[in-house]
């Protein structure tokens, strides 16, 4: 067990020396048993700050537009597949002069 360091100051009496040593030992015990005062835990997570309702609504609208466009494209492709994909590429117009 460690003893308290001997003070180099001249002591007035043995009683004062004992009182100082006791105060020093109490201080060392408080320092040893001290708990940290800084809170290092993560801050509280507030749900309304993480759940962005406007962003979710915009995402839902964007997905509904994509689904609608996909459905229209599917209808066009199925129409092409049913009608054998005939194309209208004939140029049956008469060339007219501008003069």
More confident residue, 28 or 15: 28
Summarised one tens digit per residue, pLDDT across range 23-41 is 999 999 999 999 888 888 8
CA distance 77 to 67: 15
The pTM of this model reads 0.41
End-to-end alpha carbon distance in the chain: 119
Summarised one tens digit per residue, pLDDT across range 41-62 is 888 888 777 788 899 999 999 9
Question: Given pLDDT bands bounded at 50, 70 and 90, which one contains residue 14?
Answer: confident
Torsion sign across C-alpha atoms 40, 45, 46, 51:
positive
Q: Torsion-angle region of residue 55: left (phi > 0), alpha (psi -120 to 50) or beta?
A: alpha
């Amino acid at each position: 067990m460690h003893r308290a360091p001997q003070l180099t100051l001249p002591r007035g009496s043995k009683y004062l020396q004992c009182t100082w040593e006791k105060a020093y030992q109490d201080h060392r015990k408080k320092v040893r048993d001290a708990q940290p005062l800084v809170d290092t835990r993560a801050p509280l997570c507030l749900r309304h700050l993480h759940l962005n309702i406007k962003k979710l609504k915009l995402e839902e609208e964007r997905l509904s537009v994509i689904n609608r466009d996909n459905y229209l494209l599917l209808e066009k492709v199925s129409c092409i597949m049913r009608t054998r994909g005939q194309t209208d590429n004939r140029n049956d117009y008469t060339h007219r002069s501008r003069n």
